[in-house]
Structure 1
Amino acid sequence: MSNFDLRSAARPDPDAILAAIADYTVADLPDSPVAFTTARYCLLDALACAFLALRVTECTKLIGPVAPGAEFRGGARVPGTTYELDPVTAAFNIGTMVRWLDFNDTWLAAEWGHPSDNLGAILAVADYRNRRGGSRGNRGASPMTVRDLLGAMIKAYEIQGVLSLENSFNRVGLDHVLLVRIASTAVATHLLGGSREQIIDS
């Protein structure tokens, strides 16, 4: 139980788990050939699922701009389509495509989940960032490479996976995608140039 006084205007310290997620997100990854090779396979698998979903009319009805003509020139591209959208809409489009057939990867622990669900946010933010010339506060930064993208995937997969080991949200009536929200938010904030504190706040 916290000793936080509700009458105080002082901001309490963040929960330890939020600080740990932020610290991990901003840290450099160790050079693990196995992790990067696995991430590459996961990326290829997710993209294959997404491209196959484009053959399904029910899926294609849901993707695209939120209103006709509401595309965002220079925005995030949606793989396999001609759409250029704002990052949030692009993330929804990509996530819908990856998940539509329910063939994408699965992680089973105390909670189950599909770590490639994080690719909606990661791919949209990475493409948007590269097309706009870098992350916020870091204009002109080197473009993200595929290795950078794989590193972001590794971080999102590990955040979601580690939280899944000991937390079962379905048991209390919450959907497992809660962990995708946590992992995607941390990694996307970092990709957009967010600091450790901004990752905690997000």
Structure 2
Amino acid sequence: MGIRASMLSDGRENAAVGWVLLGVLALAAVGSLLDADPLWAGFALAAGALAALPAAFARDPEVMVPWEVVALAVLPVALRAVAGGRVVQVATYLAVAALALLVAVELDAFTSVEMSAGFAVGFVVVTTMATAGTWAVVQFAADRLLGTAFLTTPDALMWDLVFASLTGVLAGGLFEAYFHGEPFRIRRGERL
């Protein structure tokens, strides 16, 4: 399995759109810091750093993951900005799935690691579910130790885990459906 070569055949257009999206993530990080929301600022910075990593290692601004992957990382930030309630919770798990997808694409595209289709999908799904489970444990600990009320009911916790699992499955399915194809080669066929 690999990402289709045609996706990065025109590195300039892909990079231009990718860098614009990275600018959106940078603005989102600043906005989140100004809103005293370090968690989302950290997500935006982490996603931006991961997306820019191939260009930094290659010392070539045109070596980037497909802009569609970066757009998927921007989506939860946009959802969070315009919605509330349960949508924000789903956006949180979409953010985790987007980071897992970024890592999977970069490992598959820019390193000698070759992932089978099943493993790549499983990686995204399991990473998202594991993060959701870890986050539930952190919320439970905060509720017990700090007196917070993050976990209001067992039903709310179960729905959070269901939404996280569904988001992971959707992101994994997206990886398989969109990126499955002939082995992928970076512009000029180099590996990092």
Q: TM tier, shorter chain? A: 0.3 to 0.5
Q: What TM-score does the superposition give when structure 1 sets the normalisation length?
A: 0.34
Q: Kindly indicate which of the two structures has a greater share of residues assigned to helix.
A: 2
Q: What TM-score does the superposition give when structure 2 sets the normalisation length?
A: 0.36
Q: Higher relative contact order by CA 8 Å / sep ≥ 6: 1 or 2?
A: 2
